[in-house]
Amino acid sequence: MPKDPSRAVRLPHDHVPVKAGRIGVLVVNLGTPDGTTYWPMRRYLKEFLSDRRVIETPRWLWWPILNLIILTKRPGPKGRDYASIWNDERDEGPLKTITRAQTEKLAARLADLGDDVVFDWAMRYGNPSIASRIDALHAQGCERLLVVPMYPQYAAATTATVCDKVFDKLKSMRWQPILRVAPPWHDDPVYIHAVKGGIEEHLATLDWTPDVILSSFHGVPKSYLLKGDPYHCHCAKTWRLLREAMGMDDKQLRLGFQSRFGTEEWLRPYTDETVKDLARSGVKNLAVVTPGFTSDCLETIEEIGVENAEYFHENGGVNFTAIPCLNDTDRGMDVLETVTRRELMGWV
């Protein structure tokens, strides 16, 4: 794509060397520890669970629980969970492997926009950090920055905390890039079509047919909804649109929320309880899809694919399958390309 001549960078002959005039696209996913042993897991969990967007419990109450109990006991078991899904070849978690691949494929798909659009990726928790990749894009002359949080449904604990970290970095910069943040795409027809296609493609590989499909989203405390967070509404709308697209009712395609933590009430129905109840009620064949995750990770591979599969079998279920996320498949990349092209309009 030819450059807009009105945006050409013209500097006086005696100006200090500077790179400018480019656009950065920063893909941001949740995060992953640097390793599975105690100290890398502790650092990761401390960063994650210290985020006031994630844990809204008053600090005077939360800090002793976090530092004296959770960060002492939890790194070991969680490290073993991560080790069970670890990419040993690259020595990294699958979320990092997949996010890198998604970014590289997005860059290839948008190559027609020209060399002045630069792509990079970061993790909200862990490495590579958001601050380090903004620095890298700025060093390459990116005066405009599009941040793409990899969350189809908005939540303060996901999308907003990515923005917080971006803003924290921008506050330290003298020459800030102009910023855009991609909005959630929970009801985008391209996304709904992609999730539907992914379900159908996976089910076609099985020699059995599910009696029920469970659509499981990451949970948040119910209090967040009551304070005005739109996350539950976004998940419910995705679920409804997916049911309509697949021609299913709310008994054939169920809703659940997973990964609850602590004693506070979270969004219901709970995925693990739903899986157990379905098995006890006589459901023998169950498929679980996780449309709120753009990339497979601990919560989809281990929590759904192993832990909830065990719940199902222990309570009388026979066949269980965890449907992969869209990841860097053609369908998944169709969604990311659509979102990114739309948000770059007017800049390229």
List Cβ neighbours of 159 (8 Å cut-off, separation of 6 or more).
149, 151, 181, 184
What amino acid is encoded at 223 in this protein?
S
| Domain coordinates in residue numbering, the chain | 36-83, 189-322
Q: pLDDT (tens digit, 0 to 9) for every residue of the chain, 348 residues total?
A: 445 544 555 667 776 666 789 999 999 999 999 999 999 999 999 999 999 999 999 999 999 999 999 999 999 999 999 999 999 999 999 999 999 999 999 999 999 999 999 999 999 999 999 999 999 999 999 999 999 999 999 999 999 999 999 999 999 999 999 999 999 999 999 999 999 999 999 999 999 999 999 999 999 999 999 999 999 999 999 999 999 999 999 999 999 999 998 889 999 999 999 999 999 999 999 999 999 999 999 999 999 999 999 999 999 999 999 999 999 999 999 999 999 999 999 999
Parallel/antiparallel/unpaired status of strands 253-258 and 212-218: parallel
Q: What share of the chain is helix, strand, coil (3-state, %, to 5)?
A: 45, 20, 35
The predicted structure's pLDDT at residue 9: 59
The predicted structure's pLDDT at residue 1: 46
The predicted structure's pLDDT at residue 306: 98
The CATH number that domain 189-322 falls under is 3.40.50.1400
Q: Which residues are annotated as a binding site for Fe(2+)?
A: 218, 299
CA atoms within 13 A on the CB side of 48: 20
| Alpha helices, H only, the chain | 38-49, 59-64, 71-73, 75-83, 94-109, 130-139, 161-171, 189-203, 222-226, 231-246, 271-280, 298, 309-314, 330-344
The predicted structure's pLDDT at residue 114: 96
Calculate the CA 165 to chain-centre distance: 16
Contact 35, 49 (CB under 8 A): no
The predicted structure's pLDDT at residue 12: 73
Cα–Cα distance between 150 and 123 in angstroms, integer?
A: 10
Calculate the CA 303 to chain-centre distance: 15
**Dihedral sign, CA of 52, 56, 60, 64?**
negative
Q: Which residues are annotated as a binding site?
A: 218, 299
The predicted structure's pLDDT at residue 5: 46
